[in-house]
């Protein structure tokens, strides 16, 4: 026989190989059956991966993309919050302070003498506060402003902002317009907003944003806030229109939705960027139908939140 000859393997070796092959098949089949019995299908889009809860996925920003209109995941969590390594998510307002001034006060009507006293607004003296207007069905402006302000506070806080109110329906009246400005100043607010609704004649529709004029008189000096306040107001008008579908005022601002005034103490005495927004005209039936609708008020709050967010993150 030569060295290149081949021989069939011994029977004992062939039997050993067959047993090894059978063992591999059995182990593989058993593992597959165990995986199936434990629900081992690959996670579909929007489902947490095995070993991770839905909250884990939301915190890591890897859950499905069916978020809520305010840019959160529907539970008030901004995608990316809590990941520990990614840093603040896009649009985060962490470390920012926003002052919201809900116009008037539901109790002002019971304190006529107190709100009628004059206070210094720099370039003149004006009433401490007023009662505000109302719809023809007696829905008060003060109730509207508080409701929208509270909704906006919730949305802003979800994005990480610290929100300071001038009043939350918890004061007997006011506060006076000079104190309203002082509250935002003391908080060193990065942005301040006074919330209102107008009381013009029927047929006058739409929203407008009031910007501070340059005022340097007495205790008022708006020199440093005029420019950033305009940027805040322009962004607010743009976002408010986009989110609510409302048009800019057809009676103030020449279609721009912007108005500049020097007779408002809340603006004259502010040392932080600040604007007013008149969300609509309560005396017009069509505008009033929106202002009294909770769903529309939620849109208004979101539009305000988006406008403030743009200002503080760009």
The pairing of beta strand 97-102 with beta strand 118-120: unpaired
In-domain check, residue 77: no
- What's the pLDDT score for residue 185? 98
| CATH of residue 267 | 3.40.630.40
pLDDT, tens digit, 9 for 90 and up, residues 66-101:
334 444 333 333 333 332 333 445 589 999 999 999
The domain tally of the chain equals 1
Kindly report the number of other CB atoms within 10 A of residue 126's CB atom: 18
Tokens standing for 175?
């506060």
Report the C-alpha dihedral over residues 148, 151, 157, 161, rounded to 10 degrees: -10
Q: Are 147 and 103 in contact (CB under 8 A)?
A: no
In-domain check, residue 122: yes
- What's the pLDDT score for residue 107? 96
Q: Are 210 and 275 in contact (CB under 8 A)?
A: yes
Q: Are 142 and 132 in contact (CB under 8 A)?
A: yes
In-domain check, residue 256: yes
- What's the pLDDT score for residue 85? 32
Is residue 276 helix, strand or coil? Answer: strand
- What's the pLDDT score for residue 41? 39
Q: Which residue has the tokens 């809900």?
A: 102
Handedness of CA 66, 67, 73, 75 (dihedral sign): negative
Tell me which of 141, 179, 278, 306 is the catalytic residue.
Answer: 278
Q: Which whole-number Å values give the CA distances from 169 to 80, 160, 223, in the listed order?
A: 35, 24, 32
Q: Are 160 and 94 in contact (CB under 8 A)?
A: yes
Q: Mind listing the pLDDT tens digit of every residue in the chain (314 residues)? A: 434 444 444 455 455 555 555 555 555 555 544 444 444 433 333 333 333 333 333 333 333 333 344 443 333 333 333 323 334 455 899 999 999 999 999 999 999 999 999 999 999 999 999 999 999 999 999 999 999 999 999 999 999 999 999 999 999 999 999 999 999 999 999 999 999 999 999 999 999 999 999 999 999 999 999 999 999 999 999 999 999 999 999 999 999 999 999 999 999 999 999 999 999 999 999 999 999 999 999 999 999 999 999 999 99
- What's the pLDDT score for residue 42? 37
In-domain check, residue 157: yes
Q: Please, where are the H alpha helices in the chain?
A: 11-37, 54-60, 112-116, 141-158, 177-186, 226-244, 265-268, 285-291, 294-313
In-domain check, residue 281: yes
In-domain check, residue 134: yes
* Residues of the domain holding 242: 97-313
- What's the pLDDT score for residue 257? 97
- Has 278 been annotated as catalytic? yes
In-domain check, residue 21: no
In-domain check, residue 81: no
């Amino acid at each position: 026989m030569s060295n290149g000859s081949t021989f069939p393997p011994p029977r004992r070796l062939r039997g050993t190989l067959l047993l090894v092959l059978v063992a591999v098949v059995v182990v593989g089949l058993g593992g597959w059956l165990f995986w199936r019995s434990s629900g081992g299908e690959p996670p579909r889009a929007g489902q947490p991966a095995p070993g991770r809860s839905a909250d884990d996925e939301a915190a890591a920003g890897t859950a499905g993309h069916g978020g809520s209109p305010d840019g959160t995941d529907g539970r008030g969590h901004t995608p990316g919050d809590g990941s520990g390594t990614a840093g603040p998510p896009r649009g985060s307002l962490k470390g920012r302070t926003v002052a919201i001034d809900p116009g008037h006060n539901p109790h002002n009507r019971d304190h006529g003498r107190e709100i009628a006293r004059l206070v210094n607004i720099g370039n003149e003296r004006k009433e401490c506060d007023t009662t505000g207007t109302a719809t023809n069905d007696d829905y008060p402006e003060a109730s509207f402003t508080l409701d929208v302000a509270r909704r906006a506070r919730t949305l802003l806080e979800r994005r990480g902002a610290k929100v300071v109110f001038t009043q939350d329906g918890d004061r007997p009246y006011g506060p006076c317009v000079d104190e309203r400005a002082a509250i935002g100043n003391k908080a060193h607010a990065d942005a301040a907003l006074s919330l209102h609704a107008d009381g013009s004649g029927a047929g006058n529709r739409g929203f407008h944003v009031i910007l501070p004029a340059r005022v340097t008189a007495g205790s008022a000096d708006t020199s440093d806030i005029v420019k950033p306040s305009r940027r805040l107001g322009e962004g607010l008008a743009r976002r408010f229109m986009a989110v609510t579908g409302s048009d800019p005022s057809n009676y103030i601002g020449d279609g721009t939705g912007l108005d500049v005034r020097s007779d408002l103490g809340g603006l004259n005495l502010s040392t932080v960027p600040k604007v007013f927004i008149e969300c609509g005209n309560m005396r017009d039936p069509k505008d009033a139908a929106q202002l009294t609708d909770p769903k529309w008020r939620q849109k208004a709050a979101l539009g305000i939140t988006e406008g403030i967010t743009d200002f503080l993150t760009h």
